Amino acid sequence: MPSSLASRRSASRLLASTAIPSRRDFLAKLGVGSTAAILGALPIASFAQAAPAPKKGWLTSTDTASEIIWMSATKLAQLIREKKISATEAVQAYIARIEKVNPKINAVVQMCFERALAEAKAADEALAKGIIKGPLHGVPFTIKDSLDTEGVISTGGTVGREFFIPEKDATVVARVRAAGAILLGKTNTPEFTLAGGGIPGISTTANIIYGISKNPYDLKRSTAGSSGGAGAIVAAGGAAFDIGSDYGGSIRMPAHNNGTTGLKPTFGRVARTGHIVDYGGIFDSWQEIGPLARRVEDLNLITGIICGPDDLDAAMVPMPWLDPADVDVGKLRVAYYAANGVADITPETIATVKKAADLFAANGNPVKEDFPKDIIMELEEIRSKISPVSTPGLLKLAEKWGTKAISPTITNRASRPLPSTPELTELLEKQDANRSRLLGWMKGYDIVINPVMPKPAQLLNAGEQPPSKPGSSYVGVHNTSGYPVAVVRAGTSPEGLPIGVQIIGQPWMEDKVLAAAAFLETKTGGWSKPAI
Protein backbone atom coordinates (compact mmCIF):
# COMPACT_ATOMS: atom_id res chain seq x y z
CA MET A 1 0.00 0.00 0.00
CA PRO A 2 1.44 3.41 -0.96
CA SER A 3 0.37 4.92 2.36
CA SER A 4 -1.55 3.85 5.41
CA LEU A 5 -5.31 3.80 5.40
CA ALA A 6 -5.24 5.89 8.57
CA SER A 7 -3.35 8.66 6.80
CA ARG A 8 -5.83 8.47 3.93
CA ARG A 9 -8.72 8.92 6.34
CA SER A 10 -6.97 11.98 7.75
CA ALA A 11 -6.50 13.26 4.20
CA SER A 12 -10.25 12.75 3.64
CA ARG A 13 -11.04 15.15 6.46
CA LEU A 14 -8.40 17.70 5.45
CA LEU A 15 -9.38 17.77 1.78
CA ALA A 16 -13.15 17.72 2.20
CA SER A 17 -13.38 21.45 1.61
CA THR A 18 -11.35 21.37 -1.61
CA ALA A 19 -13.03 18.49 -3.48
CA ILE A 20 -13.03 18.73 -7.26
CA PRO A 21 -16.46 19.80 -8.61
CA SER A 22 -18.42 16.78 -9.81
CA ARG A 23 -20.58 16.31 -12.90
CA ARG A 24 -23.64 16.75 -10.69
CA ASP A 25 -22.31 20.11 -9.42
CA PHE A 26 -22.06 21.18 -13.05
CA LEU A 27 -25.66 20.09 -13.68
CA ALA A 28 -26.77 22.01 -10.60
CA LYS A 29 -25.23 25.19 -12.02
CA LEU A 30 -27.26 24.66 -15.17
CA GLY A 31 -30.43 24.77 -13.09
CA VAL A 32 -31.05 21.07 -12.53
CA GLY A 33 -30.92 21.71 -8.81
CA SER A 34 -29.24 20.14 -5.84
CA THR A 35 -28.56 16.43 -6.18
CA ALA A 36 -29.19 16.11 -2.45
CA ALA A 37 -32.64 17.61 -2.94
CA ILE A 38 -33.33 15.31 -5.89
CA LEU A 39 -32.17 12.24 -4.03
CA GLY A 40 -34.04 13.20 -0.91
CA ALA A 41 -37.31 12.06 -2.42
CA LEU A 42 -35.93 9.03 -4.21
CA PRO A 43 -36.01 6.30 -1.56
CA ILE A 44 -39.74 6.74 -0.96
CA ALA A 45 -40.41 6.61 -4.70
CA SER A 46 -38.07 3.67 -5.04
CA PHE A 47 -39.78 1.70 -2.30
CA ALA A 48 -43.19 2.49 -3.80
CA GLN A 49 -42.10 1.10 -7.17
CA ALA A 50 -39.83 -1.62 -5.95
CA ALA A 51 -40.77 -3.15 -2.62
CA PRO A 52 -43.17 -6.08 -2.25
CA ALA A 53 -46.81 -5.17 -1.58
CA PRO A 54 -47.31 -3.50 1.83
CA LYS A 55 -49.45 -6.40 3.08
CA LYS A 56 -46.28 -8.54 3.12
CA GLY A 57 -44.45 -6.10 5.36
CA TRP A 58 -40.72 -6.45 5.85
CA LEU A 59 -38.92 -9.22 3.98
CA THR A 60 -38.45 -12.29 6.16
CA SER A 61 -35.18 -14.20 5.94
CA THR A 62 -34.77 -17.93 5.42
CA ASP A 63 -31.05 -17.80 6.24
CA THR A 64 -29.96 -20.20 8.99
CA ALA A 65 -26.67 -18.47 9.90
CA SER A 66 -26.44 -17.33 13.51
CA GLU A 67 -23.22 -15.28 13.56
CA ILE A 68 -23.51 -11.61 12.61
CA ILE A 69 -20.76 -11.53 10.01
CA TRP A 70 -22.04 -14.61 8.18
CA MET A 71 -25.79 -14.03 8.13
CA SER A 72 -27.58 -12.43 5.21
CA ALA A 73 -28.29 -8.71 5.17
CA THR A 74 -31.99 -9.58 5.14
CA LYS A 75 -31.69 -11.61 8.35
CA LEU A 76 -29.47 -9.04 10.04
CA ALA A 77 -31.96 -6.28 9.24
CA GLN A 78 -34.76 -8.42 10.65
CA LEU A 79 -32.89 -9.12 13.90
CA ILE A 80 -31.99 -5.44 14.31
CA ARG A 81 -35.65 -4.45 13.86
CA GLU A 82 -36.59 -7.08 16.44
CA LYS A 83 -33.93 -5.61 18.79
CA LYS A 84 -32.17 -8.97 19.07
CA ILE A 85 -28.98 -7.41 17.66
CA SER A 86 -28.09 -3.73 17.83
CA ALA A 87 -26.75 -1.75 14.89
CA THR A 88 -23.71 -0.96 17.01
CA GLU A 89 -23.03 -4.65 17.59
CA ALA A 90 -23.33 -5.29 13.86
CA VAL A 91 -20.98 -2.46 12.90
CA GLN A 92 -18.45 -3.46 15.55
CA ALA A 93 -18.51 -7.09 14.37
CA TYR A 94 -17.86 -6.13 10.76
CA ILE A 95 -15.14 -3.64 11.68
CA ALA A 96 -13.38 -6.37 13.66
CA ARG A 97 -13.67 -8.74 10.72
CA ILE A 98 -12.28 -6.19 8.25
CA GLU A 99 -9.36 -5.48 10.55
CA LYS A 100 -8.65 -9.21 10.73
CA VAL A 101 -8.92 -10.22 7.06
CA ASN A 102 -8.24 -7.08 5.07
CA PRO A 103 -4.46 -7.04 5.63
CA LYS A 104 -4.44 -10.42 3.85
CA ILE A 105 -6.81 -9.73 0.95
CA ASN A 106 -6.56 -5.92 0.47
CA ALA A 107 -10.21 -5.59 -0.48
CA VAL A 108 -11.26 -2.49 1.52
CA VAL A 109 -9.17 0.50 0.50
CA GLN A 110 -10.89 3.34 2.38
CA MET A 111 -12.57 3.09 5.76
CA CYS A 112 -15.02 5.36 7.58
CA PHE A 113 -15.34 3.45 10.83
CA GLU A 114 -15.82 6.44 13.15
CA ARG A 115 -18.72 7.72 11.08
CA ALA A 116 -20.18 4.20 10.87
CA LEU A 117 -20.12 3.82 14.65
CA ALA A 118 -21.78 7.21 15.07
CA GLU A 119 -24.50 6.26 12.57
CA ALA A 120 -25.00 2.91 14.32
CA LYS A 121 -25.48 4.67 17.64
CA ALA A 122 -28.03 7.01 16.04
CA ALA A 123 -29.80 4.02 14.47
CA ASP A 124 -30.09 2.30 17.85
CA GLU A 125 -31.39 5.46 19.48
CA ALA A 126 -33.98 5.88 16.72
CA LEU A 127 -35.11 2.27 17.06
CA ALA A 128 -35.51 2.72 20.80
CA LYS A 129 -38.04 5.44 19.96
CA GLY A 130 -39.85 3.17 17.52
CA ILE A 131 -38.35 4.77 14.42
CA ILE A 132 -37.15 2.48 11.63
CA LYS A 133 -35.32 4.33 8.89
CA GLY A 134 -35.96 1.68 6.28
CA PRO A 135 -35.57 -2.00 5.34
CA LEU A 136 -31.79 -1.88 5.84
CA HIS A 137 -31.89 -0.11 9.21
CA GLY A 138 -28.49 -0.57 10.86
CA VAL A 139 -27.03 -3.00 8.26
CA PRO A 140 -23.31 -2.38 7.53
CA PHE A 141 -22.10 -2.44 3.92
CA THR A 142 -19.14 -1.56 1.73
CA ILE A 143 -19.23 0.02 -1.72
CA LYS A 144 -17.11 -0.31 -4.84
CA ASP A 145 -14.65 2.58 -5.10
CA SER A 146 -16.02 3.52 -8.52
CA LEU A 147 -19.18 4.89 -6.86
CA ASP A 148 -19.13 8.33 -5.22
CA THR A 149 -19.49 8.48 -1.45
CA GLU A 150 -20.10 11.78 0.29
CA GLY A 151 -17.22 12.64 2.63
CA VAL A 152 -15.14 9.55 1.77
CA ILE A 153 -12.31 9.44 -0.77
CA SER A 154 -13.54 7.96 -4.04
CA THR A 155 -10.72 7.29 -6.51
CA GLY A 156 -12.29 5.12 -9.19
CA GLY A 157 -8.84 3.54 -9.22
CA THR A 158 -7.27 6.53 -10.97
CA VAL A 159 -4.34 8.54 -9.57
CA GLY A 160 -5.90 11.89 -10.46
CA ARG A 161 -8.63 11.20 -7.88
CA GLU A 162 -6.31 9.85 -5.20
CA PHE A 163 -7.63 12.41 -2.70
CA PHE A 164 -10.97 13.28 -4.32
CA ILE A 165 -13.84 13.55 -1.83
CA PRO A 166 -17.33 13.76 -3.34
CA GLU A 167 -19.83 16.11 -1.81
CA LYS A 168 -22.72 13.79 -2.65
CA ASP A 169 -23.42 10.08 -2.76
CA ALA A 170 -24.03 8.22 -5.99
CA THR A 171 -27.72 7.47 -6.47
CA VAL A 172 -27.45 3.83 -5.34
CA VAL A 173 -25.39 4.79 -2.29
CA ALA A 174 -27.90 7.49 -1.34
CA ARG A 175 -30.74 4.99 -1.64
CA VAL A 176 -29.31 2.26 0.56
CA ARG A 177 -28.19 4.82 3.15
CA ALA A 178 -31.67 6.36 3.10
CA ALA A 179 -32.96 2.82 3.70
CA GLY A 180 -30.84 2.68 6.86
CA ALA A 181 -27.66 0.94 5.70
CA ILE A 182 -24.35 2.08 7.23
CA LEU A 183 -21.25 2.53 5.08
CA LEU A 184 -18.04 0.95 6.38
CA GLY A 185 -15.70 1.76 3.50
CA LYS A 186 -14.76 1.49 -0.18
CA THR A 187 -13.63 -1.62 -2.05
CA ASN A 188 -10.88 -1.97 -4.62
CA THR A 189 -11.40 -1.63 -8.37
CA PRO A 190 -9.14 -1.30 -11.42
CA GLU A 191 -8.80 2.14 -12.97
CA PHE A 192 -12.16 3.41 -14.27
CA THR A 193 -13.41 -0.21 -13.78
CA LEU A 194 -12.57 -0.80 -17.45
CA ALA A 195 -8.89 -1.60 -17.21
CA GLY A 196 -9.19 -5.38 -17.11
CA GLY A 197 -7.47 -6.51 -13.94
CA GLY A 198 -5.61 -3.20 -13.85
CA ILE A 199 -2.00 -4.31 -14.21
CA PRO A 200 -0.82 -6.49 -17.12
CA GLY A 201 0.25 -9.97 -16.04
CA ILE A 202 -1.63 -9.81 -12.73
CA SER A 203 -5.01 -11.44 -13.19
CA THR A 204 -6.88 -9.77 -10.34
CA THR A 205 -8.42 -6.46 -9.33
CA ALA A 206 -5.54 -3.99 -8.97
CA ASN A 207 -4.55 -0.39 -9.46
CA ILE A 208 -1.44 1.69 -8.89
CA ILE A 209 -2.93 3.51 -5.88
CA TYR A 210 -3.94 0.59 -3.68
CA GLY A 211 -2.26 -2.45 -5.18
CA ILE A 212 -3.75 -5.92 -5.72
CA SER A 213 -6.69 -7.69 -4.09
CA LYS A 214 -6.57 -11.40 -3.26
CA ASN A 215 -9.10 -14.21 -3.14
CA PRO A 216 -10.18 -15.19 0.40
CA TYR A 217 -10.38 -18.88 -0.60
CA ASP A 218 -6.77 -18.90 -1.77
CA LEU A 219 -4.50 -15.86 -1.36
CA LYS A 220 -2.54 -16.90 -4.45
CA ARG A 221 -5.66 -16.57 -6.59
CA SER A 222 -7.61 -13.85 -8.37
CA THR A 223 -10.69 -11.98 -7.18
CA ALA A 224 -11.54 -11.22 -10.82
CA GLY A 225 -12.83 -7.75 -11.55
CA SER A 226 -13.73 -5.11 -11.71
CA SER A 227 -15.80 -5.49 -8.53
CA GLY A 228 -13.06 -7.70 -7.11
CA GLY A 229 -12.66 -5.96 -3.78
CA ALA A 230 -16.43 -6.13 -3.32
CA GLY A 231 -16.61 -9.86 -4.03
CA ALA A 232 -13.65 -10.64 -1.78
CA ILE A 233 -14.78 -8.73 1.31
CA VAL A 234 -18.39 -9.97 1.11
CA ALA A 235 -17.18 -13.57 0.74
CA ALA A 236 -14.83 -13.09 3.70
CA GLY A 237 -17.57 -11.80 6.01
CA GLY A 238 -16.35 -8.19 6.08
CA ALA A 239 -19.59 -6.61 4.85
CA ALA A 240 -23.23 -7.61 4.71
CA PHE A 241 -23.31 -6.59 1.05
CA ASP A 242 -21.61 -4.45 -1.56
CA ILE A 243 -22.75 -2.82 -4.78
CA GLY A 244 -20.70 -3.18 -7.94
CA SER A 245 -20.92 -2.30 -11.61
CA ASP A 246 -20.97 -4.64 -14.60
CA TYR A 247 -19.79 -3.57 -18.07
CA GLY A 248 -18.49 -6.95 -19.20
CA GLY A 249 -18.96 -9.32 -16.25
CA SER A 250 -17.65 -7.10 -13.46
CA ILE A 251 -20.27 -8.20 -10.91
CA ARG A 252 -20.64 -11.75 -12.15
CA MET A 253 -16.97 -12.74 -12.45
CA PRO A 254 -16.09 -11.65 -8.88
CA ALA A 255 -19.23 -13.47 -7.66
CA HIS A 256 -17.95 -16.61 -9.41
CA ASN A 257 -14.35 -16.32 -8.22
CA ASN A 258 -15.26 -15.45 -4.63
CA GLY A 259 -18.23 -17.77 -4.25
CA THR A 260 -20.82 -15.06 -3.58
CA THR A 261 -24.05 -14.33 -5.33
CA GLY A 262 -24.54 -11.27 -7.51
CA LEU A 263 -27.05 -9.66 -9.85
CA LYS A 264 -26.60 -7.71 -13.04
CA PRO A 265 -30.07 -6.21 -13.46
CA THR A 266 -31.82 -5.47 -16.74
CA PHE A 267 -30.40 -2.45 -18.52
CA GLY A 268 -32.56 0.51 -17.49
CA ARG A 269 -33.28 -0.83 -14.00
CA VAL A 270 -30.63 0.87 -11.77
CA ALA A 271 -29.29 4.40 -12.25
CA ARG A 272 -25.55 4.87 -12.89
CA THR A 273 -25.43 8.46 -11.57
CA GLY A 274 -22.30 8.98 -9.48
CA HIS A 275 -20.34 6.11 -11.03
CA ILE A 276 -16.86 6.92 -12.38
CA VAL A 277 -18.11 5.90 -15.84
CA ASP A 278 -21.71 6.95 -15.61
CA TYR A 279 -24.52 7.20 -18.16
CA GLY A 280 -24.76 8.19 -21.81
CA GLY A 281 -22.61 7.60 -24.86
CA ILE A 282 -22.18 4.79 -27.32
CA PHE A 283 -21.69 2.15 -24.61
CA ASP A 284 -24.58 3.31 -22.44
CA SER A 285 -26.52 0.06 -22.73
CA TRP A 286 -23.54 -2.10 -21.77
CA GLN A 287 -23.30 -1.05 -18.13
CA GLU A 288 -25.49 -1.95 -15.16
CA ILE A 289 -25.12 -1.59 -11.39
CA GLY A 290 -26.15 -4.28 -8.93
CA PRO A 291 -25.46 -5.96 -5.58
CA LEU A 292 -23.10 -8.68 -4.40
CA ALA A 293 -24.07 -10.63 -1.28
CA ARG A 294 -23.73 -14.02 0.36
CA ARG A 295 -27.38 -15.01 -0.08
CA VAL A 296 -29.81 -14.66 -2.97
CA GLU A 297 -32.52 -13.18 -0.75
CA ASP A 298 -30.33 -10.08 -0.38
CA LEU A 299 -30.25 -9.50 -4.14
CA ASN A 300 -34.02 -9.15 -4.02
CA LEU A 301 -34.00 -6.81 -1.02
CA ILE A 302 -31.18 -4.54 -2.21
CA THR A 303 -32.11 -4.26 -5.88
CA GLY A 304 -35.68 -3.46 -4.89
CA ILE A 305 -34.30 -0.48 -2.97
CA ILE A 306 -31.80 0.85 -5.52
CA CYS A 307 -33.89 0.45 -8.70
CA GLY A 308 -35.98 3.10 -10.42
CA PRO A 309 -35.34 6.41 -12.24
CA ASP A 310 -33.43 9.22 -10.56
CA ASP A 311 -34.31 11.91 -13.13
CA LEU A 312 -30.66 12.16 -14.17
CA ASP A 313 -29.79 8.87 -15.86
CA ALA A 314 -32.11 9.22 -18.86
CA ALA A 315 -32.06 5.51 -19.77
CA MET A 316 -33.86 4.42 -16.60
CA VAL A 317 -37.34 2.91 -16.82
CA PRO A 318 -39.95 2.95 -13.98
CA MET A 319 -40.62 -0.77 -14.19
CA PRO A 320 -42.24 -2.47 -11.17
CA TRP A 321 -40.00 -4.68 -9.06
CA LEU A 322 -41.69 -8.07 -8.95
CA ASP A 323 -41.48 -10.41 -5.96
CA PRO A 324 -39.56 -13.66 -6.62
CA ALA A 325 -41.72 -15.31 -3.93
CA ASP A 326 -44.67 -15.11 -6.34
CA VAL A 327 -42.87 -17.19 -9.01
CA ASP A 328 -43.82 -20.84 -9.43
CA VAL A 329 -40.32 -22.25 -9.92
CA GLY A 330 -41.68 -25.56 -11.17
CA LYS A 331 -43.19 -23.88 -14.23
CA LEU A 332 -39.99 -22.17 -15.41
CA ARG A 333 -38.84 -23.25 -18.87
CA VAL A 334 -35.11 -23.91 -18.65
CA ALA A 335 -32.38 -23.97 -21.29
CA TYR A 336 -28.72 -24.64 -20.57
CA TYR A 337 -25.37 -24.96 -22.27
CA ALA A 338 -22.12 -25.78 -20.57
CA ALA A 339 -19.58 -25.22 -23.35
CA ASN A 340 -19.51 -22.87 -26.30
CA GLY A 341 -17.01 -24.90 -28.30
CA VAL A 342 -14.37 -22.17 -28.22
CA ALA A 343 -13.20 -21.58 -24.66
CA ASP A 344 -11.02 -24.05 -22.76
CA ILE A 345 -13.36 -25.07 -19.96
CA THR A 346 -12.70 -27.33 -17.00
CA PRO A 347 -14.63 -30.60 -16.62
CA GLU A 348 -15.79 -29.48 -13.18
CA THR A 349 -17.32 -26.31 -14.67
CA ILE A 350 -19.21 -28.36 -17.25
CA ALA A 351 -20.35 -30.75 -14.53
CA THR A 352 -21.57 -27.87 -12.35
CA VAL A 353 -23.74 -26.44 -15.12
CA LYS A 354 -25.16 -29.87 -15.94
CA LYS A 355 -25.85 -30.51 -12.26
CA ALA A 356 -27.81 -27.26 -12.09
CA ALA A 357 -29.86 -28.28 -15.12
CA ASP A 358 -30.45 -31.74 -13.62
CA LEU A 359 -31.78 -30.19 -10.43
CA PHE A 360 -34.44 -28.35 -12.40
CA ALA A 361 -35.25 -31.47 -14.39
CA ALA A 362 -35.69 -33.42 -11.14
CA ASN A 363 -38.00 -30.65 -9.99
CA GLY A 364 -40.25 -31.33 -12.97
CA ASN A 365 -39.23 -28.31 -15.04
CA PRO A 366 -39.03 -28.59 -18.82
CA VAL A 367 -35.26 -28.53 -19.46
CA LYS A 368 -33.48 -28.44 -22.82
CA GLU A 369 -29.84 -28.22 -23.82
CA ASP A 370 -29.83 -25.39 -26.33
CA PHE A 371 -27.10 -23.03 -27.46
CA PRO A 372 -27.80 -20.36 -30.12
CA LYS A 373 -24.18 -20.51 -31.21
CA ASP A 374 -24.46 -18.33 -34.32
CA ILE A 375 -26.19 -15.55 -32.41
CA ILE A 376 -23.87 -15.63 -29.40
CA MET A 377 -20.68 -15.85 -31.46
CA GLU A 378 -21.73 -13.00 -33.72
CA LEU A 379 -22.69 -10.83 -30.75
CA GLU A 380 -19.35 -11.49 -29.08
CA GLU A 381 -17.46 -10.69 -32.28
CA ILE A 382 -19.39 -7.44 -32.71
CA ARG A 383 -18.67 -6.52 -29.10
CA SER A 384 -14.96 -7.21 -29.60
CA LYS A 385 -14.78 -4.98 -32.67
CA ILE A 386 -16.69 -2.11 -31.05
CA SER A 387 -14.79 -2.21 -27.74
CA PRO A 388 -11.70 -0.21 -28.86
CA VAL A 389 -13.97 2.82 -29.30
CA SER A 390 -14.10 3.04 -25.49
CA THR A 391 -10.40 3.98 -25.27
CA PRO A 392 -10.70 7.67 -26.25
CA GLY A 393 -13.37 8.05 -23.57
CA LEU A 394 -11.08 6.56 -20.94
CA LEU A 395 -8.24 8.84 -21.97
CA LYS A 396 -10.65 11.77 -21.76
CA LEU A 397 -11.59 10.70 -18.24
CA ALA A 398 -7.91 10.58 -17.33
CA GLU A 399 -7.50 14.12 -18.66
CA LYS A 400 -10.60 15.28 -16.76
CA TRP A 401 -9.22 14.05 -13.45
CA GLY A 402 -5.62 15.03 -14.10
CA THR A 403 -4.31 11.45 -14.25
CA LYS A 404 -0.94 11.35 -15.95
CA ALA A 405 0.13 7.91 -14.67
CA ILE A 406 -2.51 5.85 -16.48
CA SER A 407 -2.83 2.10 -15.95
CA PRO A 408 -0.79 0.11 -18.48
CA THR A 409 -3.88 -1.87 -19.42
CA ILE A 410 -5.54 1.34 -20.59
CA THR A 411 -2.51 2.62 -22.46
CA ASN A 412 -2.24 -0.78 -24.13
CA ARG A 413 -5.83 -0.45 -25.28
CA ALA A 414 -4.98 2.85 -26.91
CA SER A 415 -2.79 1.04 -29.42
CA ARG A 416 -5.70 -0.95 -30.84
CA PRO A 417 -7.05 0.29 -34.18
CA LEU A 418 -10.41 2.02 -34.12
CA PRO A 419 -13.12 1.16 -36.63
CA SER A 420 -13.90 3.79 -39.24
CA THR A 421 -17.20 5.67 -39.07
CA PRO A 422 -18.81 3.46 -41.75
CA GLU A 423 -17.48 0.34 -40.01
CA LEU A 424 -18.79 1.50 -36.64
CA THR A 425 -22.18 2.31 -38.12
CA GLU A 426 -22.39 -1.16 -39.64
CA LEU A 427 -21.35 -2.79 -36.36
CA LEU A 428 -24.02 -0.93 -34.42
CA GLU A 429 -26.65 -1.93 -36.96
CA LYS A 430 -25.54 -5.55 -36.71
CA GLN A 431 -25.61 -5.33 -32.92
CA ASP A 432 -29.25 -4.21 -32.96
CA ALA A 433 -30.21 -6.91 -35.45
CA ASN A 434 -28.46 -9.52 -33.36
CA ARG A 435 -30.25 -8.41 -30.21
CA SER A 436 -33.54 -8.93 -32.02
CA ARG A 437 -32.50 -12.45 -33.01
CA LEU A 438 -31.53 -13.22 -29.43
CA LEU A 439 -34.89 -11.95 -28.15
CA GLY A 440 -36.61 -14.28 -30.58
CA TRP A 441 -34.63 -17.25 -29.30
CA MET A 442 -35.12 -16.27 -25.66
CA LYS A 443 -38.94 -16.28 -26.04
CA GLY A 444 -38.84 -20.04 -25.73
CA TYR A 445 -37.30 -20.01 -22.24
CA ASP A 446 -37.76 -18.31 -18.89
CA ILE A 447 -34.18 -18.87 -17.78
CA VAL A 448 -30.91 -19.99 -19.35
CA ILE A 449 -28.09 -21.54 -17.32
CA ASN A 450 -24.46 -21.43 -18.42
CA PRO A 451 -20.97 -20.91 -16.95
CA VAL A 452 -19.82 -17.56 -15.64
CA MET A 453 -16.18 -18.27 -16.52
CA PRO A 454 -14.60 -21.36 -18.07
CA LYS A 455 -12.38 -21.88 -15.02
CA PRO A 456 -12.36 -21.14 -11.29
CA ALA A 457 -10.15 -18.38 -9.85
CA GLN A 458 -6.76 -18.42 -11.52
CA LEU A 459 -3.33 -17.66 -10.08
CA LEU A 460 -2.47 -14.00 -9.53
CA ASN A 461 0.89 -14.16 -11.24
CA ALA A 462 -0.46 -15.46 -14.54
CA GLY A 463 1.74 -13.33 -16.78
CA GLU A 464 0.61 -11.81 -20.06
CA GLN A 465 -2.25 -13.78 -21.57
CA PRO A 466 -3.19 -13.98 -25.25
CA PRO A 467 -6.37 -12.16 -26.28
CA SER A 468 -9.50 -14.22 -25.76
CA LYS A 469 -11.07 -15.80 -28.81
CA PRO A 470 -14.52 -14.67 -29.93
CA GLY A 471 -17.11 -16.47 -27.85
CA SER A 472 -14.70 -17.47 -25.11
CA SER A 473 -16.44 -15.07 -22.72
CA TYR A 474 -19.81 -16.10 -21.34
CA VAL A 475 -20.52 -12.76 -19.72
CA GLY A 476 -20.06 -9.81 -22.08
CA VAL A 477 -22.80 -10.80 -24.48
CA HIS A 478 -25.37 -10.23 -21.76
CA ASN A 479 -24.15 -6.70 -21.19
CA THR A 480 -24.76 -6.11 -24.88
CA SER A 481 -28.17 -7.78 -24.68
CA GLY A 482 -29.03 -6.00 -21.43
CA TYR A 483 -30.66 -9.11 -19.94
CA PRO A 484 -30.82 -9.69 -16.17
CA VAL A 485 -28.31 -12.26 -14.90
CA ALA A 486 -27.74 -13.67 -11.43
CA VAL A 487 -24.77 -15.75 -10.27
CA VAL A 488 -24.92 -18.35 -7.54
CA ARG A 489 -22.25 -20.78 -6.38
CA ALA A 490 -23.25 -24.29 -7.43
CA GLY A 491 -20.01 -26.26 -7.37
CA THR A 492 -16.42 -26.58 -6.16
CA SER A 493 -13.19 -27.19 -8.05
CA PRO A 494 -10.66 -29.89 -7.06
CA GLU A 495 -8.63 -27.07 -5.46
CA GLY A 496 -11.58 -26.17 -3.24
CA LEU A 497 -12.44 -23.03 -5.22
CA PRO A 498 -15.98 -21.83 -5.89
CA ILE A 499 -17.68 -22.46 -9.23
CA GLY A 500 -20.65 -20.25 -10.03
CA VAL A 501 -23.33 -20.52 -12.69
CA GLN A 502 -25.14 -17.76 -14.54
CA ILE A 503 -28.92 -17.64 -14.56
CA ILE A 504 -30.09 -15.43 -17.42
CA GLY A 505 -33.65 -14.20 -17.83
CA GLN A 506 -35.83 -12.26 -20.22
CA PRO A 507 -35.73 -8.44 -19.87
CA TRP A 508 -37.33 -7.16 -16.63
CA MET A 509 -37.87 -10.69 -15.33
CA GLU A 510 -35.50 -10.48 -12.36
CA ASP A 511 -38.20 -12.15 -10.27
CA LYS A 512 -37.85 -15.37 -12.28
CA VAL A 513 -34.06 -15.12 -12.32
CA LEU A 514 -33.88 -14.70 -8.55
CA ALA A 515 -36.46 -17.41 -7.89
CA ALA A 516 -34.35 -19.81 -9.97
CA ALA A 517 -31.15 -18.67 -8.22
CA ALA A 518 -32.75 -19.21 -4.80
CA PHE A 519 -33.84 -22.70 -5.86
CA LEU A 520 -30.28 -23.60 -6.87
CA GLU A 521 -28.88 -22.06 -3.70
CA THR A 522 -31.20 -24.23 -1.63
CA LYS A 523 -30.19 -27.37 -3.50
CA THR A 524 -26.41 -26.74 -3.71
CA GLY A 525 -25.74 -24.71 -0.56
CA GLY A 526 -24.54 -21.59 -2.39
CA TRP A 527 -21.88 -19.52 -0.63
CA SER A 528 -19.75 -21.22 2.03
CA LYS A 529 -17.19 -19.83 4.48
CA PRO A 530 -13.64 -19.34 3.22
CA ALA A 531 -10.82 -20.67 5.38
CA ILE A 532 -9.31 -17.20 5.91
Beta bridge partners of 335: 368, 448
Three-state DSSP at 263 gives strand
Give the end-to-end CA distance of the chain in Å, rounded to a whole number: 20
CA 73 to CA 78: how far, in whole Å? 8
Query: Strand 485-492 relative to strand 261-264: parallel, antiparallel, unpaired?
Result: antiparallel
**DSSP category for residue 323:** -
Asked if 431 and 379 count as a contact pair (C-beta separation under 8 A), the reply is yes
Asked if 238 and 102 count as a contact pair (C-beta separation under 8 A), the reply is yes
Angle at 513 between CA 469 and CA 242, to 5 degrees: 80
Residue positions annotated with a catalytic role: 144, 226, 250
DSSP secondary structure string, 37-51?
A: HHHHTHHHHHHHHHS
Give the side-chain half-sphere CA count within 13 A for 5.
19
Please name the residues in contact with 38: beta carbons below 8 A apart, sequence gap of 6 or more.
Answer: 32, 310, 311, 312
CA 377 to CA 383: how far, in whole Å? 10
DSSP secondary structure string, 160-220?
A: GGTT---SS--HHHHHHHHTT-EEEEEE---GGG-STTSBTTB-SSEETTTEE--BTTBTT
CA-derived radius of gyration, the chain: 21
What size, in residues, is the chain? 532
Comparing CA positions, the residue from 357, 352, 356, 355 lying closest to residue 369 is: 357
Give the side-chain half-sphere CA count within 13 A for 342.
18
Three-state DSSP at 110 gives strand
Strands in 108-111's sheet, in edge-to-edge order, are 108-111, 182-187, 140-144
Beta bridge partners of 263: 486
CA 475 to CA 452: how far, in whole Å? 6
